[in-house]
Amino acid sequence: MMSGQIIGIVSSDSSSHSDLATPLTIVKGIIETGEITTLPIKTDTSSSYLTWEISNKYYSATVDICGIDSKNIFDKSFAEQLQAIVVIFNSTKNGNGLECLNSWQTYFDIWEPNIKLAVCERCSSDCSDEKYLPRESVQLWCIDNGFELVEINPDEDDFDEYEEFGTKRIRSALNAHTWPHMKLKTNCQDSHQKLLKSDPRSTVDPYTEVEKKIDSLLLDSKGEDLEEEDFEGLFQKMHDLKKTADSLPTESKKAYAEKVVMAFWKALDGDKDEVYGLSSDEDEQ
């Protein structure tokens, strides 16, 4: 019986995968088992899946995983159940990774998954690198198309010590998702029920307190607004800001990101008219 929530592992160019970033190795890293020998491929006539039992501190969920290696819209039911795509592409300069990603974009737009991860072996911070694509150009593609870039085997000198990469980052992104059929753990349910019982009118979202933390992070120890004057102080809080973002559900991350962007823009004395469309506390009042 299907779980009603699917992760699709997309091979954008199955002929040129790195050994470190094949669909099978990615799935083994997600499920954390070496016992898998094959990944079921989704076709019009076949709907077999691997099952991943997610169980973390907050919830449990059963998720189906399948491979996708041919451009196909499939059916409406599949698109509705597809919650996440992990798209593997070739990041070497002698490949055509970004072109392959672009060739799939129509299907990504039709499926509309909540989580979109673009996965490769490595990108380079040095534009003169003869082997790997520049990270900046790949990041720009990801930003333009709503993806997060995940490198399986990056140069660790390019990452801060607290930043995740590889299958660990993929697992974190998938665990942070609000799966439609997830079951909250007893302690989480009890806490929420106690809140409602103490105030029947309460409609507090479990993430309200997390979002309040954003405001506290944007204040210094004296309670002064860092958005207006202290870029260095704000930048030093980036680690905490990122950790907060990771704990938010997908639908809340956009508003959170807008708030952080506005804070940095103000700290740089930017004209808010130049980022028209982004919200801020002043705009909302």
Same domain, yes or no: 279 and 167: no
pLDDT at 226 over 60: no
Backbone angles phi, psi at 119, to 5 degrees: -115, 135
Distance CA 236, CA 115 (A): 28
Same domain, yes or no: 171 and 209: no
Each residue's pLDDT tens digit, 150-200: 999 888 888 887 788 999 999 999 999 999 999 988 766 565 555 445 544
pLDDT at 88 over 90: yes
Domain region containing 62: 6-175
What is residue 122's predicted lDDT score, i.e. its pLDDT?
92
Report the number of distinct structural domains present in the chain: 2
Same domain, yes or no: 164 and 222: no
Distance CA 283, CA 272 (A): 10
**Residue 61 within a domain:** yes
**Residue 150 within a domain:** yes
Report residue 252's pLDDT band, with 50, 70 and 90 as the boundaries: low
Give pTM, 2 decimals: 0.67
Share of the chain above pLDDT 70, in %: 66
What is residue 202's predicted lDDT score, i.e. its pLDDT?
41
Each residue's pLDDT tens digit, 96-124: 889 999 999 999 999 999 999 999 999 99
**Residue 1 within a domain:** no
- Judged by DSSP in three states, 248 sits in coil
**Residue 199 within a domain:** no
CB-based burial label for 241 (10 Å; 0-12, 13-18, 19+): buried
- In 103-171, beta strands by DSSP E: 115-120, 148-151
Each residue's pLDDT tens digit, 14-32: 656 677 788 999 999 999 8
